[in-house]
């Protein structure tokens, strides 16, 4: 009997080790990451070592999404056409980012994102075959539940990403109702860049372990130099223009407090020959996705946004943050600045102040910035091609890469980032060659079909 128990234990241990090895190989092969960072390794070890829940606090940009995704995958049973795991996040951008990572890692599992901004009908069709994992905003998930599109009762694993933001945005009631429909949850993960004072009772934490790598680590704020930029007038537009010309075209996000202000700033900059992306909540989902994609692929180096872009977006290597308006709170200030100095990088934050405008105590200026504007900004290195077809039309990144390389007159190595969405796709190509590439692609067919291709502006 004892030999049987030992044999079973050894077999289970071997399966766990094999699964972990497979996970790490998957990360290396599919995400191009050579090794997990210290936080990710610690999270995975703590998750495997006990049967309790995990609370993960880690700075923005350190890979929390990959950390909890690996924990989740380690705990999944084989695909069974039954909902096993739910990930809730406060924004559609964060939902899409998380779903994309899980799709890459979880081969063989069906991952379905649910969020506002695209049709309920598309999502209902995706839910017709029950997914293994749902990634959703609380409001949209509750809507699908009430419509009878999904049965949540079998859910065993729950992830609450950026829960502090969800509570801040007023999703508490939705989350409470959703979790009430999941009586069989046996493990939970809470992930955030901000420590929660109290975890709400409705989460029903069980034997939780807290991994807080915020403590004792150099925080992003310590790698950000804060400059004051003094405006001679109450209207800061010309000062902003001079600042951008001084910075010379490095990747920058300008934050303002209101949608109307963001629109006004954007119009002013474009009118004065400074190309910029635009991002706020009144834009439709595709407009927002395209704005972020162009910033990431090098088609623009500047984004003008409300605080909507302060959290949840996957934007790499932002050198500068500009506070056109002072944020309304210290927390908003921290999250805006968190767009730069991600992981181990350094960054700069600029606070533009009008005459007689006082700074709150939580803004510490290190130095005044001297404007030395150049004549113009360099042209963006890339341009974006818009394909009017995407995943639902059976297009993949490989399809688009091969199509451009074969028909566009450029080598595959010159093609930049490719983003494939449900019904459209984006591909970056060198801006100096884009007109010729577009001309060559227009008559060609991709996978035997004619697809409309335009230059995205």
Residue 281, CA distances (Å) to 31, 90, 284 in order: 30, 14, 8
Rounded-to-integer distance, Cα 404 and Cα 427, Å: 9
Residue pair 53/75 in contact by the 8 Å Cβ criterion: no
Rounded-to-integer distance, Cα 84 and Cα 111, Å: 11
With 90 as the cut, is the pLDDT of residue 50 above it?
A: no
Nearest C-alpha neighbor of 204 from the set 85, 52, 91, 74: 52
Q: Give the pLDDT confidence of 262-280 residue by residue, as tens digits.
A: 999 999 999 999 999 999 9
Rounded-to-integer distance, Cα 381 and Cα 433, Å: 10
Rounded-to-integer distance, Cα 133 and Cα 72, Å: 10
Rounded-to-integer distance, Cα 325 and Cα 353, Å: 8
Rounded-to-integer distance, Cα 279 and Cα 240, Å: 17
Longest Cα–Cα distance in the chain: 85
Tell me whether residue 29 is exposed, middle or buried, using C-beta atoms within 10 angstroms of its C-beta: 0 to 12, 13 to 18, 19 or more: exposed
With 90 as the cut, is the pLDDT of residue 437 above it?
A: yes
SS3 at position 211: strand
pTM: 0.72
Written as six digits, the tokens of 36 are 């997990």
What residue has token string 């999703």? 171
Our measurement of the distance from residue 432's CA atom to the centroid of its chain's CA atoms, rounded to an integer in Å, reads: 29
Beta strands in 256-335 (DSSP E): 277-279, 302-305, 320-323
Residue pair 316/343 in contact by the 8 Å Cβ criterion: no
When pLDDT is averaged across residues 211-240 and rounded to a whole number, the result is: 82
Q: Give the pLDDT confidence of 79-123 residue by residue, as tens digits.
A: 988 999 999 998 888 898 899 899 988 888 999 999 987 778 888
Rounded-to-integer distance, Cα 89 and Cα 93, Å: 9
Helix pair 434-441, 397-407: axis angle to 10 deg: 100
Q: Give the pLDDT confidence of 125-175 residue by residue, as tens digits.
A: 889 999 999 999 999 999 999 999 999 999 999 999 988 888 877 889 999
| Ranges 62-71, 221-230, 379-388, 396-405: which has the least confidence | 221-230
């Amino acid at each position: 009997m004892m030999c049987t128990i030992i044999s079973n234990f050894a077999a289970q241990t071997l399966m766990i080790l094999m699964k972990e090895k497979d996970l790490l190989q998957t990360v290396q092969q599919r995400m191009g990451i050579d090794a997990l960072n210290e936080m990710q390794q610690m999270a995975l070890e703590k998750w495997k070592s006990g049967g309790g829940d995990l609370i993960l606090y880690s700075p923005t940009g350190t890979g929390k999404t990959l950390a909890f995704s690996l924990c989740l995958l380690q705990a999944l049973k084989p695909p069974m056409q039954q909902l096993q795991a739910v990930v809730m996040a406060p924004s559609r951008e964060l939902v899409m980012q998380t779903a994309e990572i899980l799709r890459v890692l979880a081969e063989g599992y069906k991952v379905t994102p649910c969020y506002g901004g695209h049709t309920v009908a598309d999502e209902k069709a995706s839910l017709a075959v029950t997914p293994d994992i749902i990634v959703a905003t609380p409001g949209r998930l509750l809507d699908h539940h009430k419509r009878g599109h999904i049965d949540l009762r079998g859910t065993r694993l729950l992830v609450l990403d950026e829960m502090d933001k969800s509570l801040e945005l007023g999703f508490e009631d939705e989350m409470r109702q959703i979790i009430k429909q999941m009586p069989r949850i046996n493990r939970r993960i809470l992930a955030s860049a901000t420590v929660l004072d109290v975890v709400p009772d409705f989460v029903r934490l069980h034997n939780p372990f807290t991994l807080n790598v915020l403590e004792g680590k150099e925080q992003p704020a310590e790698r950000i130099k804060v400059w004051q930029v003094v405006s001679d007038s109450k209207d800061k537009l010309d000062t902003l223009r001079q600042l951008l010309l001084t910075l010379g075209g490095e990747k920058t996000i300008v934050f303002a407090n209101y949608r109307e202000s963001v629109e006004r700033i954007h119009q002013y900059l474009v009118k004065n020959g400074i190309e910029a992306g635009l991002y706020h909540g009144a834009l439709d989902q595709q407009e927002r996705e395209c704005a972020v994609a162009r910033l990431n692929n090098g088609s623009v180096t500047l984004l003008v946004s409300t605080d909507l872009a302060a959290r949840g977006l996957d934007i790499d290597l932002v050198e500068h943050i500009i506070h056109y308006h002072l944020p309304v709170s210290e927390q908003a200030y921290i999250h805006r600045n968190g767009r730069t100095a991600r992981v181990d990088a350094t960054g700069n934050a600029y606070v533009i102040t009008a005459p007689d405008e006082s700074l709150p105590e939580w803004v510490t200026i290190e130095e005044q910035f001297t404007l030395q504007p150049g004549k113009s900004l360099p042209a963006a290195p890339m341009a974006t091609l818009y394909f009017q077809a995407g995943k639902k039309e059976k297009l993949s990144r490989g399809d688009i890469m091969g199509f451009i390389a074969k028909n566009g007159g450029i080598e595959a190595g010159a093609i930049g980032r490719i983003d494939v969405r449900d019904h459209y796709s984006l591909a970056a190509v060198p801006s100096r060659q884009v007109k010729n590439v577009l001309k060559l692609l227009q008559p060609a067919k991709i996978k035997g079909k004619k697809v409309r291709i335009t230059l995205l502006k």
